[in-house]
Amino acid sequence: MALTYVTGQNLVLTIKLPSTGSAVTFVNIASSCTLTLENNLTELETLNGRAYKNISKSGTLDVELYQDWGSTGVGMASVCEALFTAAKDYPDTLHDVSFTANGKVFTLQVYPAYPAIGGSAPDVLTSTVSFTVYRGIATMA
């Protein structure tokens, strides 16, 4: 089987926001997206030597996006405004996420997070949003 190299242009991120009730696809506004999952191990000292036990999982979904405050598009308002509203009005509500990397689909749930506001001239304004992944769980299909 041939090796397939994946680029950032092979990524698709969709988050269903409770504030809008619809799914927002980030392909036209995000410049990077990274899902990081980790097993949280504890080290045990036993009479037989060291042992390791996975006690939990954690994860983050980090999205770098271009700020689009006040924007409107074809059937879509500002992604930054939707994220801000979700974090303000639904701070404890999980968001369903679909993250696709070159045809492999990862599904997970995240807690809302505020996007950063502002930046420096004359740069195009960006914002990094770091979502906490619910229990560090993601499934791959």
Which CATH number belongs to the domain containing residue 103 in this structure?
2.40.30
Q: What is the number of domains present in the chain?
A: 1
- Biggest alpha carbon–alpha carbon distance for the chain: 65
Residue 13 has a pLDDT of 92
What is the pLDDT, as a whole number, of residue 75? 55
Are the CB atoms for 26 and 63 separated by under 8 Å? Answer: yes
Q: pTM score > 0.75 for this model? A: yes
* Residue 108 counted as domain residue: yes
Q: Which domain holds residue 136?
A: 8-140
In a domain, 1, yes or no: no
Q: pLDDT tens, 10-21?
A: 889 999 987 677
DSSP β-bridge partners for residue 62: 34, 130
Helix, strand, coil shares, percent, the chain, to 5: 10, 55, 35
Distance CA 67, CA 78 (A): 9
Sheet holding 104-110, edge to edge: 22-25, 11-17, 95-101, 104-110, 126-140, 49-66, 30-46
